[in-house]
Chains A and B, each alone.
Chain A
Amino acid sequence: MLGEYTDRPGPRLRASAVRVVAVFGSVLNPVTERDRRRRRVVALCAPFAILVAIAGAYPLLEVVRISVSAEQYRSVGFSLAAYETLFTDPYYREVAFNSLWLAGGTALASVGVAVPVAHALEKYDLPGEDVLVTLVSFPISLPGIVAAFMILVLLGNNGLVTNLFAMLTGRAATDLAIAVSASGLFVAFCYSMIPRATLILRGTYSEVDHAAEEAAQSLGATPWQTFRHVTFPQIRPGITGALILTFRTGLAIFGTLIVIQTVLVWTLQISRELATGYNIQVAGAMATVYFLFTFAFTAFGLRYTDAEVGL
C-alpha cells in the first residue's frame, strides 16, 4: 500500500512521508518482532550517531559554511574567494603535491616492509614470537612528535646511525645527519606507519589457507612461487586495505611535522593559516578539500578494490 508507485509528485511525497512516520511509529511503539528488532538497532546506533552529529557533522558543516563566507569572522553571504586562492595559487598546489608524494611514498614503503614482517611473524616459528609482536605493535601508541624524536635519536646530529656512518666513513656527523630533511621526514612517517600496516596484514595472514600452500610446496613450487601464486592472491585485500589506511594516515600526520618542519604539507599549512592572521576562510576551505578528498578516495578504494575495511 505504501510502496504504491505513482507519477504525480504530490501523492508520492505524501506516501513517503507516511512511510517515514510509520517507521518512526514502529520504533517508538513496536508491534511486530521486526519492529522491535528495528528499535533495537536504532537504540544501539543512537549514542554513536549523537556523538558523530554533535562532534563531527555539525562542526564540519560550520567549517564548510565559513569557507564560503564573504566576511572573515562571521558566516554571511557567499564567496568562493578562498577556493579561488587554493586552486589558482601555485604555492598551494606545491603544498598539495608535497602531501601526496610524501603520503603515497611512505605508504608504499611501509606496506612493502610490513608484508615480510607479517609473513615472518605469522608463518615462521620464531623464538619469543609474542615479544616480537608486542615490540612491533608498541609504536602504534606513540604520537607523531615522539616518532619524530625517535628519528632524531637515530638520524640526528647525535644520532646512533649517523655516528656509526661517520665512524665508518670518516666524515663529519653533521654532514651525514638526515633527520631534519625530507628523507628524515620520510623515515619518520614510516616509523609511524609500519606498525599499523603490520597489524592489518597479520590479521589477513591469519586467514590464509595453509592447505593450499602446503599443496603447492609438495608439488615442487619454490617458496617464492608459493608466495607469488598462492599466498599473495589471498593477502591482496589486506595489502590494498593497508595501503589505503597508511595513505590516509600519511595525509593526516601533523605532530611529526611540527618537530621536523622541512616539508610544507597540507595539515601544517592549515595550522599556519590559523597561526598567522587567523585566516579561517582559507583554513576552512583547505579542511573541506581535505575531507572531500579523503572521503572520495576511501569510498573509491573500498568500492572498486577488494580492500578490507579496517583501520
Chain B
Amino acid sequence: MTVAPSRRFGRELVTVILFLTVAFLIAPVLLTFVGSFAGEWSGVFPSEFVTLRNWREVLGLAETIGSQRSMGWDSLLSVGGYTLAVPSELLFSIGLALGGVFINLVVGVPIAYAVARYDFRWDEWVSAISVLPLVPGVILGVAFLRAYPDLSGTSFGLIVGYSLLKAPFMVMAVRSEFESMPLQRLEESARSLGASWPRTFFTVIVPNARSGIVSGAIICWTLAAAEFNFSYIVWAKGTQPLALFLQRHISNSSFTRAAAAVSMFFCIIVAVTVLLQQVGSRGFDPRG
C-alpha cells in the first residue's frame, strides 16, 4: 500500500516553511543588532568586534564628521550644575506617539464599544470605516499640506495625523476585547445596582477591557513612533521624527552606523512592549 505524499511529507514541509519564514524575518534583525557593534562590515559577517563607536555616533555622544547626522541633545532639567540631557529625536518621537495614542484612546474605545454592544442603522458601515485604514500616510500628508499649510508640519499636526492613521489598530484591539465580554449582562447588572449609563461605561466597562486597551495602545504607540510616510511628506523643519532620522542613516551613513540606528529602534520597540505589558498585567489589575 502506498502512503499519500501529503501524509509522509506534508507536515514536515509546512513546518519547514514556518521555520524558513521565521529565519527570513528574524535573521536580518539579529544580524543588524550584532553588526551594530562591529567596526567593519564588508564580508558575509561583520568583523572587528566589539566597538561601541557606532552607537556613540548615532546617539550623538561622539563627534562625527557630518555632525548633523547624529542625534541632538536637549537639556531636560538642570539641578545644581548637573544637566539631565536627553536625545532630542528620541524624546520628540516618544512624545508625538504618546499624543497619538491619547487621541486614539479617546476616539477608539467609545466607537469600539458602540459597534460591539449596539445594533443600529449603518452599524456595518461604521464598523468597516472604523477598522479600515482610511487613507495611506502619503495621501494624508498631501491632504494635510493642502488643508492646513501652517499646522501640518508642527507637532500638533503630526499627532493628529498619527492618530487618524493608527486609529483602526486601536479599534480592532479594543473591539475584539469587547466582543469577548458579556457586555449586555455587565451593563445591565451595573445599571440595576443604580449606576448611571456614563458611570457604567467608565467604571465597569472600560476597566474590564483593559487588556485589549493596553494591547491597542502598545500597537498604536509602536506604529506611530515609527511612522515614516506621513512624516516624510509634511515634516519641514526642527527636530526630526525618529523614522526620518532612521531613513537619513539608512540612506547616508556607513552600514555599521545604520545598523546601530536601526538597532536602537529595535531596542525601543522591545522595551516599550515589555513595559506596557507589565503595566497591563499588573498596574490595572485590582486582584493583583
When the two chains form their complex, are residues B142 and A287 in contact, meaning their CB atoms are under 8 A apart? Answer: yes
A163 interfacial contact with B, CB 8 Å? yes
Residue interface bits B120-151, CB-to-A below 8 A is 1, else 0: 10000011111111111111101111111000
Q: Is the CB of A120 within 8 A of B15?
A: yes
B118 in contact with A40 (CB, 8 Å): yes
In the assembled complex, A264 has its CB within 8 A of some CB on chain B: no
In the assembled complex, the CB of B196 is this many whole angstroms from the nearest CB of chain A, namely 11
| Complex interface bits, A40-71 against B, C-beta within 8 A gives 1, otherwise 0 | 11011111101110111011101100100000
B271 at the interface (CB under 8 A from A): no
Candidates B26, B107, B137; contact of A47 at CB < 8 Å: B107
B197 adjacent to chain A (CB < 8 Å)? yes
- Complex contact A222–B4 (CB within 8 A): yes
Contacts of B118 in A (CB 8 A): 37, 40-41, 44
**B14, B130, B258: which contacts A119 (Cβ < 8 A)?**
B14
| Assembly CA distance A124 to B172 (angstroms) | 27
A212, CB-defined interface residue at 8 Å = no
Measured between alpha carbons, how far is A227 from B15 in the docked complex, in Å?
A: 15
A255 CB-CB contact with B under 8 Å:
yes
Q: How far apart sit A142 and B138, CA to CA, in the bound complex (Å)?
A: 17
Does more than half of chain A's interface fall in helix, strand or loop, or is it mixed? helix
B120, B148, B255: which contacts A158 (Cβ < 8 A)? B255
- Chain A residue at minimum C-beta to C-beta distance from B160: A55
Kindly list chain B residues whose C-beta atoms are within 8 Å of the C-beta of A124.
11, 14-15
Q: How far is the CA of A143 from the CA of B229 in the complex (A)?
A: 9
Contacts of A43 in B (CB 8 A): 110
Flag whether A274 is at the interface (Cβ < 8 A): yes
Q: Which of B234-286 contact A (CB under 8 A)?
A: 243, 246-247, 250-251, 255, 258-259, 262, 265, 269
The residue in A50, A121, A145 that gathers the most chain B C-beta atoms within 10 A of its C-beta is A145
Contacts of A51 in B (CB 8 A): 103, 107, 160, 163-164, 167
Q: Which residue of B lies closest to A46 (CB)?
A: B110
Main secondary structure of the interface of B (DSSP, over half): helix
Query: Cα distance A291–B251 when bound, in Å?
Result: 29
Compute how far the CA of A163 lies from the CA of B5 in the bound complex, rounded to whole angstroms. 35
B18 engages A154 (CB within 8 Å): no
Q: Does A117 belong to the interface (CB within 8 Å)?
A: yes
Q: Is A104 an interface residue (CB 8 A)?
A: no
Stretch of A8-16, A78-86, A246-254 on the interface side: A246-254
Which of the residues B31, B133, B269 comes within 8 Å of A141, measured between beta carbons?
A: B269
Query: Does A201 reach chain B (CB closer than 8 Å)?
Result: no
A59, B132: Cβ atoms closer than 8 Å: no
User: Which residues of chain A from 121 to 144 have a CB within 8 Å of any chain B CB?
Assistant: 121, 124, 126, 132, 135-136, 138-139, 141-144
- Would A158 and B41 count as touching, CB distance under 8 A? yes
- A contact residues around B160 at 8 Å (CB): 51, 54-55
Question: Across the interface, do A62 and B143 meet the contact criterion of CB distance under 8 Å?
Answer: yes
Judge whether A280 is part of the interface by a CB distance below 8 angstroms.
yes
Candidate in B11, B25, B131, B228 with the most chain A CB atoms within 10 angstroms: B25
Instruction: State in angstroms the CA–CA spacing of A255 and B202 once bound together.
Output: 39
> Could you pull out 9 A-B pairs where Cβ atoms are within 8 angstroms?
A41-B114, A120-B14, A138-B26, A141-B219, A143-B246, A146-B246, A149-B28, A224-B10, A254-B229
